[in-house]
Amino acid sequence: MKVLFVCSGNVYRSPVAEALLKKFRPDIQADSAGTNPVLPRISESAKKFLKTENASHYLKAEPEGLDEKKLDEYDLIVAMKPHHKGMVLNKCQSCESKIVVWNIDDPYFLPGHETKIFQQIKNKVKNLANII
């Protein structure tokens, strides 16, 4: 099974979700992308959180964009917000049935709430890991 997590910059939410799913379910191919990737690196708060979760070695080296992905090859696409789902659909109309939306806020716009948001992602990923 292949799972893609999608957020805006691929520096906070989706790379954390990807790393955690790789930790919880190494048998699943997890990936992540941003609708507008922010280069050159993943956020320090994401790195710090994943270190506390013993999952930093699952973290990708740098953000990647949605354009770099073959969307039709994924079995499940997790969009962090409804507008991310819209961006995926703009690139892959046939992907609609495999997209779910988690409604996870962007920590970039909520300084000081990163850990709380990462914990929400962890809970969602744990649930996902148990049902797929």
Note the pLDDT of residue 76: 98
Which element (helix H / strand E) includes 77?
strand 76-79
Q: How confident is the model at residue 70 (pLDDT cuts 50, 70, 90)?
A: very high
β-strands 99-101, 2-7: how paired?
A: unpaired
pTM of the model: 0.96
Q: Which two tokens stand for residue 63?
A: 């953000």
- Report the 3 state secondary structure along 33-92: EECCCCCCCCCHHHHHHHHHCCCHHHCCCCCCEHHHCCHHHCCEEEECCHHHHHHHHHHC
In a domain, 131, yes or no: no
Domain hosting residue 16, numbered range: 2-125
Domain assignment present for residue 132? The answer is: no
Give 112's pLDDT tier (boundaries 50, 70, 90).
confident
- What is the pLDDT at residue 25? 97
**Each residue of 12-54: pLDDT tens digit?**
999 999 999 999 999 999 999 999 998 788 999 999 999 999 9
Provide the CATH number for the domain around residue 21: 3.40.50.2300
